[in-house]
Amino acid sequence: MGRIEYLHKLLKHRELSARELAKQYLDAIDRDNTALNAYVNVTREEALESAQKADEAFRKGEGVGLLTGIPMALKDNISTRGTETTCCSKILRGYKPLYDATAWSRLKAQGAVLLGKTNMDEFAMGSSCETSCFGPAHNPFDISRSTGGSSGGSAGAVAGNLAVYSLGSDTGGSVRQPAAFCGLVGLKPTYGAVSRSGLVAFASSLDQIGPMAQTVEDVAIVFDAIAGADPLDSTSSKTYVPQTFKNLNNDIKGKTIGIVPQLFSEVSSEVAQAVESALKTFEGMGINLVSIDIPEIHYALPAYHILACAEASSNLARYDGVRFGHRTGEGFASVNEMMIKTRSEGFSQEVKRRILMGTYVLSKGYCDAYYKKAQLLREGLSTAFEKAFEKCDAILAPTAPTTAFRTGTQLSPVEAYKADICTAPVNIAGVPAVSLCCGYSHHELPVGMQLIGRRFGEEAIMNLAYKFQQNTDFVRTADWGVRL
């Protein structure tokens, strides 16, 4: 049983009130967030008010679901009406959206209790949660190490028992890599499965909101709640209605898992050993293994960075100091000078670097050489994944090439970008993947593996992940926060 179901039973049988539960989490945040820096904005009053409404719903026995009264967190790039949403950037300090993101509005309608907004790499650009203007989030398993990025605060909040579950966003691995570093389950859904309305855009053709929690059951419950068609997002699927949680206990005997050698080429020996051990576990559960060659994966990471930076340079052009967010306070002689100073002050070095890269690959004379070639590579990789799934039901691979590295490591940009080497191909192809813990390093740090599925194949990969969790003992909680 996942934590959501467990807490739901306590609330339903009145063994615990939603207000008491919310207060426990808020008190734990007050105590532990200084060390973990998972939250950048705690919504105490709103949380207690939502919890009070949940208690009334339980008393009346009306409008109660599994998520009613359950405390959760949102990444700070998911819009919340009237609550500051900064993307952890100086340029958006003080910005309060006029509307809720669709994913959040669906959870709110089911009685979810929002504890606050979580730390992240600025505008979701990073793999360490160190580019945040609020400082880095710290890994609950070892606070000297990174939570991963960009959804590092969302992962840290759940792993540190400061939220039951959280939502992050995944553009090139930003849900799965933090989930791997923090020993969680993190789902990157099929592109179009979850509405992007209200998600502050980084790269619109790659971004996808996804849930993180400690168990597959909890992630399945949340995914089913937020997925589905949305008229506010033209890229959302019009027909997809998942029943992931309902189908978690389906038989997996005789299913086939594919192993792609290219996804193991850059990983550490500890990560490779843990994933290979997981493969043996699946074999013992009656799963067939098959090797599948996808040479196009070698080009996925450069293609990803070209496409992501190109879209970022366009999406971030709106932050100019004219309409909302930061505006330079220094003297300026023209509107153009004001915009230059505003953007120079408001964006970090990493965001500036990606905007410049994206502007370059879209510029006259270089668009054909870079951007258009990257689009062709994207089509080729998507086709290669489709062909791979003719031979298997899912692909198993490492989530990240290493376990959590120390904060302040000062990786070069190229080294930092290689953190996405196992995850970016999934975003390029638009397919779903779920990361879960498959072991621990000699430093007792979690090792993550990911199960990759065909488009809208979340039920299949989540069922495999569920069976793995049921047959192993890798779900552990760090010694922080609320222990229920």
198 phi/psi in degrees, rounded to 5: 90, -5
Catalytic residues: 75, 150, 174
73 phi/psi in degrees, rounded to 5: -140, 155
**What distance in Å separates the CA atoms of residue 116 and residue 84, rounded to the nearest whole number?**
10
